[in-house]
Amino acid sequence: MQEKAITIYDLAKECGVSPATVSKALNDYKGVSAKTRELVNETAMRLNFQANSMARYLNTKRSYSLGVLIYLGNSMPALKQTFFMDILESFKTQFEQNRYDIIILSKQLKGTHGSFLNHCKKRKTDGVLVFGDYTNPSITELIESDMPTVGFDYAGGKIPGVFSNNYEVTGELVRYLLSLGHRRIAFVHGELNFITEERMRAFSEAMREAGADPEPLMFEGKYYNVDFAREVTEKLLSSRERPTAILYPDDFTAIAAMQTAQKMGFSIPEDLSVAGFDGIDFADLVYPSLTTVKQNSVEIGRALARCLLNRINNGPSTMSSVVIKAKLKIGGSTAKPKAENK
């Protein structure tokens, strides 16, 4: 069906040397004369030779492929996570030079469909990048295995993790809102984990410092869960002592919440200030543009790539976390609260 690919043997015959020599020439090994090296490379170019990466793996034990694993539960389509995709884009770019390729590992986890770790083993990935729910058993298994792995927003210490300085920048966001005059600020946060807790702590402390009581204004939400965000928003805005500003766990939910509020007749930012986290492209496209904590997806992707490459090449010794600075990005969705609301 497929044209027969040309092999190292074809090259050898064409050049009048042995396959061994061809291999050495192509891989820039020592022990092959400049003349033959050039001949081989030139012939390889001429015949458009593409080394069989599978056969190569068998010897080298390096597949030059990486798995990426996005898992937020079976109901959350992996590839729709635009923020993760932004990071992945940067991650991928880093690895392009090193001839690594990326395999999408994410899948529905129903039945005994095989664990993520087994999937990696089968595909012989050199390493894995994980986004998602670190409490999931299949992800835990992976993290605890000897498969080189890095995680975004992971801080469990078993693998290198990269995350933003959530504590600082969340504080910055809250203080900014306070400085505008907001006092009743609600925080709809995501599922509890290290990142969420950092943000909650920052929120609490900033509010307390300003003399406001944060406790009644924290609400458990779910990352990227639009329905949930809408529900909470409706409830909050219907309550008698409604907040003048609401933070959401991510831009996705924040944008949905804006719509909900607007549908209810509130205008943004006059009647309600809204802010999100992440800083996806869409935050800039909606009206009013969303105030958000812009995480530096490019740097995060780079850091993840660096950590993983290091882990692959140098073994598990260097197991650090990297913190990337996020930036408060003020859009049109936040403003001084109206006098009557104060």
Partner DNA sequence: ATATTGACAGAAAGCGTTTTCAATAAACCG
Partner DNA sequence: CGGTTTATTGAAAACGCTTTCTGTCAATAT
Binding site for DNA (CB under 7 A): 4-5, 7-9, 16-21, 23-24, 26-27, 30-36, 49, 51-52, 55-56, 58-60
Sign of torsion, CA 29 31 37 41? Answer: negative
With CB under 8 A as the contact rule, the residue among 57, 133, 201, 322 that binds a second copy is 57
C-beta separation of 138 from 166 below 8 A:
no
> Is 203 within 8 Å of 170 (Cβ atoms)?
yes
Strand 185-189's sheet: what is its strand order?
218-220, 185-189, 245-247, 273-278, 291-294, 327-329
* Minimum CB distance to a second copy, residue 286 (Å): 5
Single-letter residue type at 254: A
Phi, psi of 247 (to 5 degrees): -100, 140
Q: Which is nearer to a second copy, 214 or 249 (CB)?
A: 249
Does 258 sit near a second copy (CB under 8 A)? Answer: yes
From the list 93-101, 178-186, 193-201, 239-247, the region that binds a second copy by CB under 8 A is 93-101
The single residue listed with the structure tokens 């069989």 is: 52
The CB-of-41 to DNA minimum distance in angstroms stands at 12
**Min separation Cβ 142 and a second copy, Å:** 13
340 binds, among DNA, a second copy, none (CB under 5 to 8 A by kind): none
Handedness of CA 12, 17, 20, 24 (dihedral sign): negative
Task: Give the start-end residues of each E strand in 31-123.
Answer: 65-71, 101-104
- Cβ atoms of residues 86 and 304 within 8 Å: no
The token pair that represents 166 in the structure block = 């959530």
- For residue 65, the cross-strand partners are 101
Q: 63 touches which of a second copy, DNA, none (CB within 5 to 8 A by kind)?
A: a second copy
**From a second copy, DNA, none, interface partner of 31 (C-beta below 5 to 8 A by class):** DNA
Question: Which residues contact residue 3 at a Cβ distance below 8 angstroms, ignoring those fewer than 6 apart?
Answer: none
Binding residue (CB under 8 A) for a second copy from 36, 289, 310, 341: 289
CB-count exposure of residue 181 (10 Å: 0-12, 13-18, 19+) = middle
Residue 238 partner contact from DNA, a second copy, none using kind-dependent CB cut-offs of 5 to 8 Å:
none
Pick one of 20, 55, 135, 320: the residue that binds a second copy (CB under 8 A): 55
Interface residues for a second copy in 155-214 (CB under 8 A)?
none
Give the interface with a second copy as residue ranges (CB under 8 A).
1-3, 5, 48, 50-55, 57-58, 61, 63, 65, 77-80, 82, 85-86, 88-89, 92-93, 96, 101-105, 107-108, 113, 118, 121-124, 146-147, 226, 252, 255-256, 258-259, 262-263, 281-282, 285-287, 289, 315
